[in-house]
């Protein structure tokens, strides 16, 4: 059952493929903001997946994130999420990311609950127009 307070936690290593230089979001070999955002979205998504009805999933729709500290290749990044709001199909999460030295980013993330098959069908229909 979906209820506020559900928490998630995921970690990953900073590799060369996850740097700003590799992802095109900057010129330095530090953990990229797009990589941090993907980890935040993944953490939030996984935290509620088991509570959804069969065939349902969530899609990310909004981010308000600050990336406040750089992390070098070799660091471990851990993201924690907490479901703080539910408005029908809209879910609001507080997300925070840490490296080995402390907090590197935080903010809010919104996801919507969707029927996976219907969502995919509607999206694919764009190619027919």
Catalytic residue at 67?
Answer: yes
Residue 70 DSSP code: -
C-alpha R_g of the chain: 16
Per the residue annotation, which of 41, 43, 58, 80 is the catalytic one? Answer: 41
Per the residue annotation, which of 12, 33, 78, 82 is the catalytic one? Answer: 33
Catalytic residue at 109?
Answer: no
Q: Write out the H or E segment, with its range, that includes residue 39.
A: helix 33-49
Per the residue annotation, which of 19, 43, 67, 110 is the catalytic one? Answer: 67
Sign of the Cα torsion 23, 15, 35, 48 reads positive
Catalytic residue at 33?
Answer: yes
Residues annotated as catalytic are 33, 41, 67
């Amino acid at each position: 059952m979906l209820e506020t307070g559900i928490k998630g936690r995921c970690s990953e290593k900073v590799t060369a493929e996850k740097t700003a230089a590799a992802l095109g979001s900057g010129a330095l070999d530090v953990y990229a903001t797009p990589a941090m955002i993907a980890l935040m979205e993944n953490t939030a998504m996984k935290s509620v997946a088991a509570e959804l009805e069969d065939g349902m999933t969530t899609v990310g729709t909004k981010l308000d994130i600050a990336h406040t500290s750089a992390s070098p290749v070799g660091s471990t990044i851990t993201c924690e999420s907490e479901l703080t709001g539910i408005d029908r199909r809209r879910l609001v999460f507080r997300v925070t990311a840490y490296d080995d030295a402390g907090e590197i980013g935080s903010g809010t993330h919104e996801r919507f609950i969707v029927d996976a098959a219907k969502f995919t069908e509607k999206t694919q229909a764009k190619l027919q127009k």
